[in-house]
Amino acid sequence: MQADFVIVGSGSAGAVMADRLSADGKHSVIVIEYGGTDIGPFIQMPAALSYPMNISRYDWGYESEPEPHLGGRRLACPRGKVIGGSSSINGMVYVRGHARDYDHWEEQGAKGWAYKDVLPYFERMETSHGGQEGWRGTNGPLHVSRGPRKNPLYHAFVEAGKQAGFELTEDYNGEKQEGFGPMEMTVHRGRRWSAANAYLKPALKRPNLTLVNGLARKVVFDGKRATGVEISRGGSIETVTATCEVVLAASSINSPKLLKLSGIGPAAELKQHGIDVLADRPGVGANLQDHLELYIQQECTQPISLYSKLNLVSKGLIGLEWLLFKSGLGATNHFESAAFLRSKPGVEYPDIQYHFLPVAIRYDGKAPAKSHGFQAHVGPMRSKSRGSVTLRSADPLDAPRIQFNYMSHAEDWADFRHCIRLTREIFGQDAFTPFRGKEIAPGDGVTSDEALDDFIREAVESAYHPSGTCRMGAAEDPMAVVDPENRVIGVEGLRLADSSIFPRIPNGNLNGPSIMVGEKASDHILGKAPLAPSNKQPWINPRWQTSDR
């Protein structure tokens, strides 16, 4: 088993690189993936999104250590263990992130990753259905579409935002992120359009690309040069040899774990587990970030929500229509309206995200409210809280320790209280009057700061956006793990490209930015000149210094 390039992980970035590195036929590529097939309705049917992340066959099943600021709760941290990685088990919401997110990356030392540099890669990867002309890709492998928004609640949410004085936007992935408008999803012809469907499966038809099923144990080195990957499969341990480079794309949880098992990480931690130190990089596993969100739920006085579709007969009929025609309520993730808002005057660009859903239900499909309802998922986008991924042992089969350190900043609590009160203001607008029943969660009586904090502590959930654990920066930055060309600092022949390289978590869901990283990293790996920078300027609210809307 030998190839020019060996990629660990077939997820959002790994699938892209498998396609791009093998495209010209000059290079042989092997992709190592521990998970199995993504065939079957639980993954391919968009509306079934709550199932795959609860099935151990598809999910690594990670959870955080007890979180000290959340009363010792352990929060789920699903990561895809299947062809397509987390793009095969996620909620399919497509968000590029805000232009200023990437400008901030460059300020943090990720030179060449400003908005002007990454926008051409977003355009290269997309085929946008209904996006803003001139700002969106029209010929890429990743199809991005919009839901039909047939339910009147989707329009009530957007209209309520307008009535509250906020901006509207027709395309938050175009020039103007700020405002209320339609949400986008990676769904194409009624199917989940994962990185596997978009990139990997078409590329696997090439003779120079091979998929190997096995567990990556560590990167193999000759001196300081990466020469391959040690894997276990079928009860034996083998080495997959890379004649050019090894590329890690194993997720923000498994990439730092693999680096540490390979001798790259904080020296004290490696020695503690009896691992020889190849490169002392204290940043490996540090800087862990995520988005948290609350579900603000309201009863609906009209029987129009999805509640009536939660019984077995309705689910069966929805599933049948989807199986036969790839249409109907099975062909959407049901996140069809969205908003990106600024929390206060003086905030230059949005720092709050909304997903709107015309049913009151948990993301994982558990504990639906016993009535017709609707809900907003809301949370701040730029928490200052930082956590870490550390080794539990030197055994590659052991899950790492994941400590997010959620809500460790006083600002986090103030931000979330504001999110709750803001959502109540939006749900209180005239647009919702025909539909608005009593508040289910937090509940009408929960109004004081203390009561809201109690609710936050008990109810806040991860949005499943872990990132930042191998951050990109200048080669001389002691806390950086990869340089701006995705090379792991301190060794040779090893690159890393996935959500772990984000210096700071971008605005919104992470699938889009992770795919973009795979696209841009491919050019660096192949030694190609980066795409020409864009001169497009994002819309910034002219009132940002004086108003939140």
Task: State the CB neighbour count (10 A cutoff) for residue 57.
Answer: 12
Instruction: Report whether 514 belongs to an annotated binding site.
Output: no
Instruction: Report whether 114 belongs to an annotated binding site.
Output: no
Which residue is it, tokens 């995705």? 486
* Catalytic residue list contains 465: yes
* Nearest-angstrom CA–CA distance, 525 and 519: 10
Instruction: Report whether 5 belongs to an annotated binding site.
Output: yes
Instruction: Report whether 255 belongs to an annotated binding site.
Output: no
Instruction: Report whether 54 belongs to an annotated binding site.
Output: no
Write the CB contacts of 357 (distance below 8 Å, at least 6 apart in sequence): 306, 334, 335, 374, 375, 376, 377
Are residues 496 and 247 in contact, defined by beta-carbon separation less than 8 angstroms? Answer: yes
Instruction: Report whether 516 belongs to an annotated binding site.
Output: no
Residue 31, classified by CB atoms within 10 Å of its CB into exposed (0-12), middle (13-18) or buried (19+), is buried
Are residues 34 and 81 in contact, defined by beta-carbon separation less than 8 angstroms? Answer: yes
Instruction: Report whether 20 belongs to an annotated binding site.
Output: yes
**Beta strand segments in 277-345, E:** 279-280, 292-300, 337-341
Instruction: Report whether 33 belongs to an annotated binding site.
Output: yes
Instruction: Report whether 483 belongs to an annotated binding site.
Output: no
Written as six digits, the tokens of 76 are: 């789920």
Instruction: Report whether 233 belongs to an annotated binding site.
Output: no
Instruction: Report whether 13 belongs to an annotated binding site.
Output: yes
Write the CB contacts of 479 (distance below 8 Å, at least 6 apart in sequence): 282, 283, 286, 287, 471, 473
SS (H, E, C) 218-263: EEEEECCEEEEEEEEECCEEEEEEEEEEEEECCHHHHHHHHHHHCC
Alpha helix ranges (H) inside 126-184: 152-163
Instruction: Report whether 92 belongs to an annotated binding site.
Output: yes
Instruction: Report whether 32 belongs to an annotated binding site.
Output: yes
Instruction: Report whether 10 belongs to an annotated binding site.
Output: yes
Per annotation, catalytic residue among 104, 155, 465, 524: 465
Point out the annotated binding site for FAD.
4-33, 82, 90-93
Binding residues: 4-33, 82, 90-93
Which sequence positions are flagged as catalytic? 465
